[in-house]
Amino acid sequence: MTADLGGPAQLVLTATVARRYYLDGKSKIEIADELQLSRFKVARLLETARSSGLVRIHIGHPGEIDVVLSSELRDAYQLQHAIVVNTLDEHDAVLRQQVGLAAAELLTEIVTTDDVLGLGWARSLMAMRAELTQLASCPVVQLTGALSRPDVDESSIELVRDVARIAKGPAYYFYAPMIVPDATTAQVLLRQPEVARATEQFASVTKAVVGIGSWDPPYSTVFDAVPAAEQASLLKLGVRGDVSGVLLDADGVAVTAPLTRRMICIDAAALRRIPEVIGLGYGPEKAPAARAAILGGYVSGLVTHTSFARALLAQAPR
């Protein structure tokens, strides 16, 4: 998925081509003539531009929020914030983008300079970052290590730094994987100065944004990163979802498993103490996991889309 964009000159060239093609509506041949390139070169640049994420195409009306559903959801689960994006599209990438956009707008609205913002690791958070243009100046803290996936571009590691740059606030980030082979390695990593620098901030985080992962059915980056045998034993222990690396059962009770000690992330108790944790959920199959996270008190705000909200409402308590 992530193509190499080369150095800065290459990058700017690619952007120039993309701008002329997509925004100015010129033909590839015109662009080729203008920039003294072959039309094939232009086509290839555009191809990399898209596959690398330099050019992003969004479909759907931005910011269309289903106010009725949002308010029902907020009431049903006693949430601090509930935003339901009204989308007819069930394409994962579109849902993610729209939820990301709504989350970005919510964050811009509710974060103040007195906050300390924590960020988990999820593709929806990358989508949020992509849509974020403005944020009150506040520190930004990385809550978990990274999980690389073939379908997520490498620069996602820069999530915390990017958001902090937009916020013009300090960034507490580190480069470490979310899951390591053994508990000892985790201990060693946690003692790394830059990791410790971030974890020390966990207690002062006032608002956090996390992705919601489902284990049954499996739609979770954490689940995918665990070997099949361990997946089975964790499911047997009752794990049904995860938020920011914290494993939860169907009722939202945190599950402590051998895996827990091999993860670089905020622990359940600390996550629960954060005054406001906004979960991003897309794909209605994840609704039970979101329900668990809310009931367990790990998530107090939700940004999601129509079908997800309906699924949640269908199983609302009382």
Partner DNA sequence: TCGGCTATCGCTCATATGAGCATCGTCTGA
Partner DNA sequence: TCAGACGATGCTCATATGAGCGATAGCCGA
The correct pick among 3, 43, 110, 257 for binding its own copies (CB under 8 A) is 110
The correct pick among 11, 15, 43, 313 for binding DNA (CB under 7 A) is 43
Helix (H, G, I), strand (E, B) or coil at 12: helix
Closest CA to 237 of 215, 221, 217, 263: 215
Indicate whether 106 belongs to the interface with its own copies (CB under 8 A): yes
Q: Which does 235 bind (CB under 5 to 8 A by kind): DNA, its own copies, none?
A: none
The C-alpha angle 107, 113, 115, rounded to 5 degrees, equals 65
Smallest separation, CB 295 to its own copies (Å): 21
Choice between 56 and 149, CB closer to its own copies: 56
The correct pick among 1, 12, 34, 40 for binding DNA (CB under 7 A) is 40
Smallest separation, CB 43 to DNA (Å): 4
Helix (H, G, I), strand (E, B) or coil at 221: helix
Strands 241-243 and 207-215: what pairing? antiparallel
Smallest separation, CB 1 to DNA (Å): 16
Smallest separation, CB 35 to DNA (Å): 11
Handedness of CA 151, 254, 276, 194 (dihedral sign): negative
Main-chain phi, psi angles of 234, to 5 degrees: -70, -40
**Which range, of 22-30, 91-99, 122-130, 281-289, touches DNA by CB under 7 A?**
22-30
Q: Give 161-217 as a DSSP string.
A: HHHHHHHTS-EE----BSB-SSHHHHHHHHHSHHHHHHHTTGGG--EEEEEEEEETT
Question: Of residues 151-210, which lie at the interface with its own copies (CB under 8 A)?
Answer: 155, 158, 162, 165-166, 168
Give the C-alpha separation, 234 to 31, whole Å. 55
Question: Of residues 20-79, which lie at the interface with its own copies (CB under 8 A)?
Answer: 22-23, 49, 53-63, 65, 67-68, 70-72, 74-75
Confirm if 18 and 55 have CB atoms less than 8 A apart: yes
Choice between 117 and 125, CB closer to DNA: 117
Write out the H or E segment, with its range, that includes residue 301: strand 301-305
Which residues of the chain form contacts with its own copies (CB under 8 A)? 5-12, 14-16, 18-19, 22-23, 49, 53-63, 65, 67-68, 70-72, 74-75, 81-83, 86-89, 91, 93-94, 102, 105-106, 108-110, 129-130, 155, 158, 162, 165-166, 168
Which residues of the chain form contacts with DNA (CB under 7 A)? 27-30, 37-41, 43-44
